[in-house]
Structure 1
Amino acid sequence: MTVVNGKTFTAAPPQDEFPNSVFGAIIGSLNGFERLERLSKLEFLDLEYNRFNNKSIVSSIGHLSSLKSLNLAYTGLESVTNIQGLSSLQNLVFLDLSLNNFSDSIISFLRIFPSLKSLNLAGNRLKSGIQGLSGLENLEFLDLSFNNFNKSIKPFLRIFPSLKSLNLAGNRLESGIQGLSKLSNLEFLDLSFNDIGNSTLSSIGDLSSLKELHLDGCGLRGTFDIQKLDALGNLKVLSLGGNRITKVVDSRDIKIIRNLSSLFLDDSNGDGRSSIQLELLGAYPFLKILSLKHNSFKAGIFAQGLCELKHLQKLDMSYNDLSGTLPLCLANLTSLQLLDLSFNYFIGNISLSPLGSLTSMHTLQLSSNLFRIPISLLPFFNHSKLKHLNCHENEIYADIDVPTLTPKFQLRTLDLSGQGHGGVFPKFFYYQHKLEYVDMSNIKMKGEFPHWLIRNNTKLYTLHLPNCSLSGPLQLPIHSHVYFSDLDISDNHFNGSIPTEIGVCFPSLNFLNLSGNGLTGSIP
């Protein structure tokens, strides 16, 4: 995370934040790389994910004295010797050396960059010596995740009083962390994937400026008393996934609940079998994102205040044990933009469900349930914002009477694969012009190959229609479609020959399955 020109970024700032910038994508040695030295006004240079055979290349960068942002992530660097040529870059504000192979010796070297505000050393071999960064008084964003600091980092956190963002995820930290309380300006903290346990909550509780807290997979067990974080009145995002929490204790009267906008409790079953107990979901009045996936929740979760979250925009309840029909109170969640109910045991006809009222949705995931879904998609015709619909592995059926209506949606991706008899090829497809991915596998339909579907959707790249009972000759669109790359029409009843112009029509085709048909003649 970094700040450039008054804007905050969690990774390298985008190119347009620097009028003079270069992005690199080079493998091997760079003959003529020294020509970069002529770019005397260059401020932004991104060379991440390159593998330099000649490490002396980096020394050429040292002549770019105007550089403010340098990204050398995952470039095969492994020692101070490789980057000594950077010592003249005294204007550096952003430096990313993550996913390399540096050891502790790199830390004291970095003190030569006094203007640094953002430093990313994630994914190296660091173990100790963090006190060597004490001279970087302007440092606001520090990422030390996925190293091996263990206990060695704890006493030295206080040397960074200006820090706004600290990522210590994936180290081998244990128990409480000393020095955190001194970071009074901290707004982002990630302690995920350590084994610090419940005792850490007391050391976090004084960080009154904190806006985002990640404690995923960090050994939290038993009852999680959210009131211990009550001093975090500015907290917006709380992520507690991958722990063994059995119960979340909360109250409508505490500050943290009133301001929280995102709550993640993924994979948090207390004993791996029974679901986590949530007392007052309705007590989070401004919650916009709620993720409860991969737990063992049953239908009772809806009675715990879930339907009271009228500001909710994203709800993920996938991979649970939810069953029965969808509760009608879901219609209250009119702000929902993304809803994921996949991999549960819901039943019922979608036409009679509250989903028809949720017209703000752009993404709806219903895969691997027991819903009955009309192939016309009539219940969603008023969903003008709907872009992605996944109904894989449900029962698709043909509507008896479908009124002549034009759907308001323009889908990008559609998956209706699974089982069912859909009657004639769905008419709503005639009104779609922005499709990119379509899968109707194993849905029995009447009709010929829908070449017009490819013609009308110029960015379509995947079309799967295997085992759909389609028949007739294989007619292709007239014009070339350069995005189209994946076609499966196996196990149908197509006849005649393979069109000779198939290579011209689909020049980017890399997957083609025509098996199980009645095609004759030669292969073009």
Structure 2
Amino acid sequence: MNGCFGCWEEERIALLQYKASTINYTFEYHFTPWDLADKESDCCEWEKVKCDITTGRVIKLALNNTIYWNGESGGGWYFNASLFLPFEELQHLDLSYNYIFGWVPNEGFERFSSLSKLKVLYLDGNYFNNSILSSLSGIASLKELHLGDNNLNGEGFDRFSLLSKLEVLHLDVNNFNHSILQSLSGIMSLKELDLSNNNLNGTIHIKEFKAFSNLEELYLSNNKITDFVTTKDSNILTKLQHLDLSLNDFSARVLESLTAFPSLKILDLSYNNMVGSFTTKELSKLNNLEQLKLDNSSIDKSLLQKIGVMTSLKVLAVKDCGLNGNLPDLGWCELKKIQEIYLSGNNFEGRLPSCMANLTSLQVLDLSYNHFNGNIAQSPLSSLSSLVYLSFSDNKFLIPSTFSFLFNLSNLKILVGDNNILALETDSLTWIPTFQLKVFSILPTWIGNISSLEDIFMAKNHLEGPIPIELCKLVHLTFLDLSDNNLFGYIPSCFNSSSINFFQLNKNFLSGPIPSAFQNNSNLFALNLRDNLLTGNIPNWIGSLSSLRILLLKGNHLGDQIPVQLCLLQRLNILDLSYNKFSGPIPHCLSNITFDASTQDNSFGGLYSRETYSSSLSLYSTIIEALYYGIFMFDPSVNAEEEVQFATKSRTYTYKGYILEYMFGIDLSCNNLEGNIPLELGRINSSIRALNLSHNNLSGSIPVTFSNLKQIESLDLSYNNLKGKIPPQLTEMTSLAVFSVAHNNLSGATPDRKNQFITFDENSYEGNPLLCGPPLQNGCTRIRPPFTTPVDNDGEEGDSLMDMGVFYISFAVVYITVLLGIVAVLYINPYWRRAWFNLIEVCIDTCYCFVVIHYRKLFNFKSA
């Protein structure tokens, strides 16, 4: 194949050779579309591959995150550069986060010197050290090089002066100090330099950047820099437009030094201790600054009164800065070009100043998590007709239920306003909105008219009554959160949106059965109905939810047996059926659930992209992207992350966003389940983190197969009727943090005090009177040779109530002791000896008379 007929055969073969070289270090699903058997398969159509539409040559390979290493001996993957030499027109290669430890001898990156068109190379997140630098210096065509998150230090960069075309260099998350600036001084062409997350500390002088005359973007975040010293008329970094100094130790005086950068447009000083006040003179000199970010910094509250002199400012972010009092009506309201303002997480109070109506260019406004009050319909918000994103959640605003104050906001796409005071109004002034929202967090009666609405966030909004039937009109709905309200009645059966991904109605007073509205929904990721009053059983159609990752039904009145259809949910992360009335056995087929992060596709987080965010402090640009690509692709400020609570390690934790990809657990506690614990539960994928079967009526023994659960952190089997011994093999569960078998009928010795089991106290074993050994107070007194516990064909230990060998020996010892005691007493005391023999004689006479008399009566009866 070649040209317009598909990819070139030599490049197709090279890709398959690359796949073969990683076979021991990767998951097969990474390269599923790369078909070796189908010789007609066009590699230009394969995932991770992009070809030139004219020549058919491969120009981009995105092979990041394809290598897996479990940390075992033998090290990670070793790179072979010759595999990439057939790609003569390759321009972009991404090998980041692949656990690359090095390269095959004589097959390092020096071989890439023949790839004359290679411009972009990503090697972040590997295990390279400085030995890689000399080989990289031979790739003369490079314009962009990413070496972040490796094991590099400041030596060996001298030869990078040969990279005369290099414009972008990322060295973040390494071990550099100040000396790196001198080492890089030979790269005159640099326009972007990232040294964030390193060991730079103390004072940095502008003279150290003298060689970087073309630098436009500089990232120094997350170091320990205390000051940035500049000199007047230094004529250094005159082209610098973007400077990130966040997560350092700067004070407010740094602003005076930064006035030396005349072209500066974006400045990030967030997460610093900005002690001191900004002067109007300093602020006015930053006359080209467009974006100023000061989040999580202790700034002086007078800043908002002085900031009006920054006439070019378009973005202002002062989130979580400890600002308080009323918003001033001077200064910040004079920012005619301002497009985005972030004031969330402060202690502002009172009403919004009327001068806000002057901010006619404002497109994004975040007032959330403050103490603002007053009737929002009487605020200046209704005049801000350019608004695209508006958030005023978690305040004390009075919000009229008709939402008529939004009438003029024709551009509004995202509205977040939960946790305020909703005031009911009559609908006599009914109106149809002129906007089409994508995200909404408060619920008016006309919500069904917004046909494009995709996301609703209304948690903790004091909503009462049944779920509005108007929601059923939202056919594009993907995220619905009505949790923690006072809703009651049935869940509407008209919910038939096949696009819905996240459905949260937990912590309400909803009743009735689980509706069939979600049947066959292959897009549903999370169904959270916990802490309601639902009745009935889990419907059999639950198995049709092929994409379901989270199923939370805790704290309802659901009953009957747990359906085997749950076993069809092979991609499940979390299953919580606790505090219900389920009965019958635990389904053996639950082991079919994979509980494997490698099969997931990042559905819970993924909202944050460093590449998107670092290019701009602006949320507005990402909102526009989100409206084009979909809501789950953009900035986390919208909080479009799934958040669930799950009990593990004897506590209830909240899991949110990306962490849900790695949290796997089953909670069946506080039900009426009975029968043996299935052996198959011990054969569930070892990635499971929590298993809770406590407070049921389970019997039989603890399966030895539980020792296979190598990553389990919490195992609770307490308050059941389990018997037999605790399998000693459980000590192989080296990740255990919480273990409890309390209040059962277990017997024998506790497991050896080694690995994690040395950390468990007697509370883990209490309520089992026949258990002995540490940490319990009753020791196992009899010492005998160790023996192997008999195991039946199913792998279970014998389940007898007690050790019969111990019983027989104990009985014999007691019997002999009592007999010898009686003989000793009779031997020593003549009086008791005579009394004893007299008693024996009386008993013999009595028995003799009884037998003779009754024998005669019986004989006479038969004779008659």
Q: Do the structures match in fold with TM over 0.5?
A: yes
Distance change in 2, residues 1:483/1:34 (3 Å): farther
Match of 2:288 in 1: 234
Report if aligned partners of 1:96, 1:120 keep a CA contact under 8 Å in 2: yes
Q: Deviations over 1:209-260 (max 9, x none)?
A: 22112222343333322432434333211122313323125376x4x32x21
Match of 1:269 in 2: 322
Residue 422 of structure 1 deviates from its aligned partner by: 4.5
- Equivalents in 2 of 1:429, 1:96: separation in Å? 47
SS of alignment partner, residue 95 of structure 1: strand
After alignment, is 24-33 or 179-188 more displaced? 24-33
Residues 438-517 of structure 1: pairs in structure 2 closer than 5 A = 438-443=480-485, 448-453=490-495, 455=496, 457-466=497-506, 468-477=508-517, 480-492=520-532, 494-513=534-553, 515-517=555-557
2:306 maps to amino acid: D
Match of 1:250 in 2: 306
Match of 2:775 in 1: none
Match of 1:120 in 2: 170
Residue 92 of structure 1 deviates from its aligned partner by: 0.5
- Normalising to structure 2: TM-score of the pair? 0.52
Match of 2:210 in 1: 158
SS of alignment partner, residue 89 of structure 1: coil
Distance change in 2, residues 1:458/1:85 (3 Å): farther
Structure (1/2) with the larger helix percentage:
2
SS of alignment partner, residue 351 of structure 1: coil
Residue 308 of structure 1 deviates from its aligned partner by: 1.4
Tell me which of 175, 179, 192 is aligned to 2:227: 175
Report if aligned partners of 1:329, 1:354 keep a CA contact under 8 Å in 2: no
Match of 2:474 in 1: 432
Residue 474 of structure 1 deviates from its aligned partner by: 3.7
Distance change in 2, residues 1:347/1:147 (3 Å): same
Higher relative contact order, structure no. (Cα contacts within 8 Å, ≥ 6 residues apart): 1
Residue 160 of structure 1 deviates from its aligned partner by: 0.7
SS of alignment partner, residue 540 of structure 2: coil
1:201 maps to amino acid: L
Q: Deviations over 1:10-43 (max 9, x none)?
A: xxxx998997111112224268774222212111
Match of 2:155 in 1: 105
Residue 333 of structure 1 deviates from its aligned partner by: 0.5
Residues 1-12 of structure 1: pairs in structure 2 closer than 5 A = none
Match of 2:145 in 1: 95
1:203 aligns with 2:257: yes
Q: Deviations over 1:393-420 (max 9, x none)?
A: xxx8xx9xx68x9513422221223365
Match of 1:190 in 2: 244
Report if aligned partners of 1:188, 1:211 keep a CA contact under 8 Å in 2: yes
Q: Deviations over 1:289-335 (max 9, x none)?
A: 011122221225524x2221011010111222212222432111111
- Equivalents in 2 of 1:340, 1:86: separation in Å? 48
Distance change in 2, residues 1:422/1:106 (3 Å): farther
Residue 366 of structure 1 deviates from its aligned partner by: 1.4
Tell me which of 302, 311, 314 is aligned to 2:353: 302
Runs of 5+ in structure 2 lacking a partner?
1-47, 53-57, 70-76, 565-864
After alignment, is 135-144 or 240-249 more displaced? 240-249
Match of 1:341 in 2: 392
Report if aligned partners of 2:469, 2:492 keep a CA contact under 8 Å in 1: no
Q: Deviations over 1:359-405 (max 9, x none)?
A: 322211212222347899x98951533111224xxxx8xx9xx68x9
- Equivalents in 1 of 2:527, 2:548: separation in Å? 11
1:49 aligns with 2:97: yes
Report if aligned partners of 2:476, 2:500 keep a CA contact under 8 Å in 1: yes
1:120 maps to amino acid: H
1:322 aligns with 2:372: yes
Tell me which of 454, 477, 482 is aligned to 1:412: 454
After alignment, is 115-124 or 275-284 more displaced? 275-284
- Equivalents in 2 of 1:109, 1:61: separation in Å? 14
1:22 aligns with 2:58: no
1:46 maps to amino acid: D
Report if aligned partners of 2:242, 2:265 keep a CA contact under 8 Å in 1: yes
Distance change in 2, residues 1:251/1:496 (3 Å): closer
Runs of 5+ in structure 1 lacking a partner?
1-13
Match of 2:617 in 1: none
Report if aligned partners of 1:276, 1:295 keep a CA contact under 8 Å in 2: no
Q: Deviations over 1:321-355 (max 9, x none)?
A: 21222243211111111112122222342426623
Identity rate, percent: 24
- Equivalents in 2 of 1:197, 1:507: separation in Å? 50
Distance change in 2, residues 1:69/1:15 (3 Å): farther
Distance change in 2, residues 1:39/1:15 (3 Å): closer
After alignment, is 345-354 or 329-338 more displaced? 345-354
2:154 maps to amino acid: D
Match of 1:214 in 2: 268
Q: Deviations over 1:254-300 (max 9, x none)?
A: 4x32x211111223336xx6678673222101110011122221225
Residue 477 of structure 1 deviates from its aligned partner by: 4.8
Distance change in 2, residues 1:221/1:207 (3 Å): same
Residue 473 of structure 1 deviates from its aligned partner by: 4.4
Distance change in 2, residues 1:522/1:250 (3 Å): closer
- Equivalents in 1 of 2:255, 2:536: separation in Å? 70
Residue 47 of structure 1 deviates from its aligned partner by: 1.9
Report if aligned partners of 2:90, 2:118 keep a CA contact under 8 Å in 1: yes
After alignment, is 131-140 or 465-474 more displaced? 465-474
Match of 1:138 in 2: 189
Distance change in 2, residues 1:178/1:284 (3 Å): same
1:438 maps to amino acid: L
- Equivalents in 1 of 2:469, 2:518: separation in Å? 22
Report if aligned partners of 1:74, 1:98 keep a CA contact under 8 Å in 2: yes
Q: Deviations over 1:62-84 (max 9, x none)?
A: 4332311011112232x211444
1:390 maps to amino acid: S
Match of 1:4 in 2: none
2:247 maps to amino acid: F
2:501 maps to amino acid: Y
Match of 2:823 in 1: none
Report if aligned partners of 1:116, 1:138 keep a CA contact under 8 Å in 2: yes
Residue 46 of structure 1 deviates from its aligned partner by: 1.3
SS of alignment partner, residue 111 of structure 2: coil
Match of 1:8 in 2: none
Count of matched residue pairs: 492
- Normalising to structure 1: TM-score of the pair? 0.83
SS of alignment partner, residue 382 of structure 2: helix
Report if aligned partners of 2:343, 2:368 keep a CA contact under 8 Å in 1: yes
Residue 152 of structure 1 deviates from its aligned partner by: 6.7
1:435 maps to amino acid: L
Match of 1:289 in 2: 340
SS of alignment partner, residue 146 of structure 1: coil
Match of 1:332 in 2: 383
Residue 165 of structure 1 deviates from its aligned partner by: 1.1
Residue 93 of structure 1 deviates from its aligned partner by: 0.3
